[in-house]
Amino acid sequence: MRTLLLIGFGIVLVVIVYALLFAFVSTLQKFTINSWRKRANKLSDKKLLKNRDFYGLQRKRKWMAIFLNGIFYKSYLKQQEELYQIFREEAKKRGL
């Protein structure tokens, strides 16, 4: 009985740690996206196109996301997609 209680406690602890890490990663991603959104209009055309192309490739690399972020790979892919959209919209505004 005591063993089952310890196993249950361990599972609950792992779930809590996972939830806290996910909240932390999500918050960092929001800060990153907002930061790039503010800086995108200040970039030169060359850097803007370079970033657009880079994030365009990164959003398609699922294995790289798994390798870099492990269980949080979906949030990484979402961030890459959002950053690509930011640079794509800015390039459209400038007519590039």
66 pLDDT more than 90:
no
Query: Residue ranges per domain, the chain?
Result: 29-94
pLDDT single digits (tens) 4-60: 889 999 999 999 999 999 899 899 999 999 999 998 888 888 999 999 999 988 888
Q: What mean pLDDT comes out for the span 61-67?
A: 85
- Is 90 exceeded by the pLDDT of residue 68? no
Q: What local confidence, expressed as pLDDT, does residue 67 receive?
A: 85
pTM of the complete model: 0.78
Report the alpha-carbon distance of residue 61 to residue 77 in Å, rounded: 8
CA distances to 40, 43, 52 from 87, rounded to whole Å, are 7, 10, 5
